[in-house]
A and B are shown apart, each in its own frame.
Chain A
Amino acid sequence: MRTVSLVLALALALPVVGGKRRAVAPPAAAEEISIAFVELTAGQVDVGVIAHVPSKKKQGWTVVTRTIGVRIDRGNRVAGGTAILRAWLDEPDARCVVRVDGVALTNVPRIIDAHARIGAVTPHRLEIEVPVTAAEGPLASAIRWEVSTE
């Protein structure tokens, strides 16, 4: 504890001791970041009719696949760097499994991309898997996407 106090005191004192005061930069504003879905209307994907076609690939399931473009930007529009992209189900539909890039989503955030590029559109594979035992009818599921820098 004593050592720490001494170090901090030394750091604060140095500019004065040096004789020439350094210019102090103004505190940086909090970085802004945004996430957007490319070429989608109102953030919605309608996969249409999901009808089972017998297949030996995944027996007992109907799988519908779409590609979603996700763009991450900084507030200052400067590209470069990466961010962490997470996703989870805000409103799950119990009749289907939703996967993003092979990751099955639940109501717990899962990392989709630990190094998502900022300033670029990144395609993500969205899969809707419906078992043949599921009841017919409309299906809806809301996926929450979160991007963060550290």
Chain B
Amino acid sequence: MKKFAIAVLATVAISSSAFAATSSGTLTVTGTVESSISLTIESAGGTTSGTGTDAATSALGSISRFSAAPTGFTLARGASDWTLSSTVGVKVSKANLTSTDYTLTAQLGAAPASGIVWKLNGSTLSDSAAATLTSTGTYESTGSYSWDIVVANSAAAAAIDNSISFTATSN
């Protein structure tokens, strides 16, 4: 009787494997890889926020010819003006792009107050035309650009708030 039971189990197992079934299908995935570059402000003088992003802010607080320079700045007094100097660190990254370098420009968001001059990398900035900071920027490397704010002794005491727009273009 025991042997009979073994024989039946063997038969069931063989039948079961005969019922196995298989089916298949194909799923096609398509898309388009698009090249891109991105820019981040990595550092700047003043009390900064938003570094590492594309929208950083630098607060200088109250500035004057005879007070201490803001954090991250130096102050140099001339005969008719005085200059706050610092640097701005800009990093440009690329993705899915064969370009080996880029051109970086900067432009003020608004006309500077009378008697105030903004400079980056030695170039005077304006709100009407972009100044070229470099035409051979290296990707993934933070470029450091000198940043000067020149204040005439004759400038009225007022806020000097402004914004600098950086634009990177792959070469």
Contact = CB atoms under 8 A, between A and B. Distances in A.
Chains A and B bind each other = yes
Interface of A: 3, 6-8, 10-11, 14, 28, 30-37, 40, 43-54, 62, 64, 68, 90, 95, 98, 126, 128, 130, 132-150
15 contacts: A7-B6, A10-B7, A31-B21, A35-B23, A35-B24, A37-B27, A40-B27, A43-B28, A46-B29, A47-B31, A135-B98, A141-B29, A143-B29, A144-B24, A148-B21
A64 to B, nearest CB: 7
Nearest to A60: B95
B95 A10 contact: no
A36 B20 contact: no
B62 interface: no
Chain B interface extent, by class: 35 or more
Interface of B: 3-4, 6-8, 11, 15, 17-36, 38, 40, 93-98
The interface centre, meaning the residue of B8, B26, B32, B95 with most chain A CB atoms within 10 A of its CB, is: B95
B128 to A, nearest CB: 31
Nearest to A83: B21
B33 A139 contact: yes
